[in-house]
Amino acid sequence: MNIEADAVKIRGLHKIFGSTVQLFGGLNITVKSGEFVAVTGPTGTGKSTLINLISGLDFPTKGSIEVFGKDLSKLAESERVSIRAKKIGTVFQKPHLLSRLNVIENVELPLIFSGSPEDGREEIAAEMLELIGLSKKKHLFPCSLSAGEIRKVTIARALATDPALLLLDEPTSDLDTSTIDILLLLLRGYNYLHNRTIVLATNSLKLAKLASREIRLRWPELVLEAIQG
Amino acid sequence: MNTVDLLFRYIKEPGVESSLGVVGAAASITVCLVAASAGPIESGAFAYQFAVSSMGFLTVATLLSLCMMSELLLKRQEIGTLRALGARRRVVMAIFLSKSILIGTLGSIAGIALRFAFTVITYAIGQPYQSGEPILRMLTVGSAGSIAAGLYAAIRASRMNIVETIRG
């Protein structure tokens, strides 16, 4: 990975759903490595879609998205999966945990797919759970966790591989105020101390203010890219 | 935990679909074994045995396809999550293929066991069936049917739209 390269470079992005819904309207964004960017905007403007596009789960109708200098839509499936597993950590809007795996095994999952050495996986997953304050519940199954705890596990899961790019889609939706404060510290530290790139899609002004830059999406097109500070 | 452990978690989980798959495969193999042993011995024997084997293959493959597709629907979100987290297509394919083969093989063995029970019963009531039915062939037919069904479900699973599945 070229550390100097832009983490995310979006050019002329269009995403069309059916024949009526057109998102982004030729959006251009560059997110530099180590930057913390918040993507905000009303519901339906495409925040989650943008996160999915950056993570290579979805493809643009027009335009290009480069992640660490590589256009994911032009890569072979195996290469795209490899980049997603090794360099990108994602917290999805819906916190899907695997019901047949316990908490620590759920956090271990991305480590398996990224090819992390087997003997260190459990230790890393345990550290992540310690970090978010769920180490006592590591052997429980998702069905016995609260919505907020499940959300915390998905955050630990996204951080487990120490990804160069962390994508968060409404990460605080099930969390209480004190946990949100802890998460804010965690994200700030992750960005500042580890120099990791964070793209955060949120409706929370509190969370958006944490970022060094806010990209505001508006229906039907992006019209503003405001730089804070 | 490693990939093999992960596969094992999915394969070992008993479910209504898996049980129905085993029962269906067992019934198909039993019927085919009975039909194979009741067929003509000399003229047209090959054509008859081929027809019975083909029927066995198609029945097992169809039943297990239905069983694996319903399992795919139930696990849709989990499979999408696995893929979104970086699981390669082959991991998802391995889950469905190995489970289908396991169900098909278990069903075939159960079917052969049922055929033996059938032989014992018919012998006991004084109307014995001829023995020497093609057990190995039917085991192969059952396994081949389960591989075909598993492959179909595995390909469908590995090509699911990840975004649709994780959005629920």
Instruction: Give me the CATH topology for the region A6-226.
Output: Rossmann fold (3.40.50)
pLDDT tens column, B4-28: 777 777 777 767 878 888 888 888 8
A58 touches B: beta carbon within 8 Å: yes
Chain B residue with Cα closest to A158: B85
Rounded to whole angstroms, the Cα distance separating A153 from A161 reads: 14
Classify burial at B133, counting beta carbons within 10 Å of its beta carbon; exposed 0-12, middle 13-18, buried 19 or more: buried
A63 by DSSP, 3-state: which? Answer: strand
Place of tokens 């009975």: B34
- In 10 A of CB A176, how many CB atoms? 11
Cβ pair B2:A112 closer than 8 A: yes
Rounded to whole angstroms, the Cα distance separating A72 from A63 reads: 12
**Above 90 in pLDDT, residue A39?**
yes
Predicted local distance difference test score (pLDDT) of residue A1: 46
pLDDT tens column, A148-188: 899 999 999 999 999 999 999 988 877 888 888 888 888 88
Residues of chain B with C-beta less than 8 angstroms from the C-beta of A80: none
Rounded to whole angstroms, the Cα distance separating A157 from A154 reads: 5
Chain A segment 147-166 residues within 8 A of B by beta carbon are 157
Chain A residue with Cα closest to B14: A100
ipTM rounded to 2 decimals: 0.86
Cβ pair B9:A99 closer than 8 A: no
Chain B residue with Cα closest to A161: B85
On average, the pLDDT of chain A sits at 87
Q: What is the pTM of this model?
A: 0.84
pLDDT tens column, A184-210: 888 888 888 888 999 999 988 878 888
Cβ pair B86:A84 closer than 8 A: yes
Handedness of CA B28, B29, B34, B35 (dihedral sign): positive
On average, the pLDDT of chain B sits at 84
Tokens coding A114? 């990224």
Predicted local distance difference test score (pLDDT) of residue A194: 85
Check: CB of residue B17 under 8 Å from CB of residue B102. no
Cβ pair B81:A98 closer than 8 A: yes
Residues of chain A with C-beta less than 8 angstroms from the C-beta of B167: 48, 93-94
Chain B residue with Cα closest to A101: B9
Rounded to whole angstroms, the Cα distance separating A80 from A153 reads: 25
Domain boundaries, chain B: 3-167
**Above 80 in pLDDT, residue A229?**
no
DSSP string, B115-141: HHHHHHHHHHTT-PPP----HHHHHHH
**Strand partners for A21:** A17
Rounded to whole angstroms, the Cα distance separating B154 from B152 reads: 5
Which is more confidently placed, B129 or A68?
A68
Domain boundaries, chain A: 6-226
**Above 80 in pLDDT, residue B44?**
no
Of B9, B86, B168, which is closest to A100 when you measure between CB atoms?
A: B9
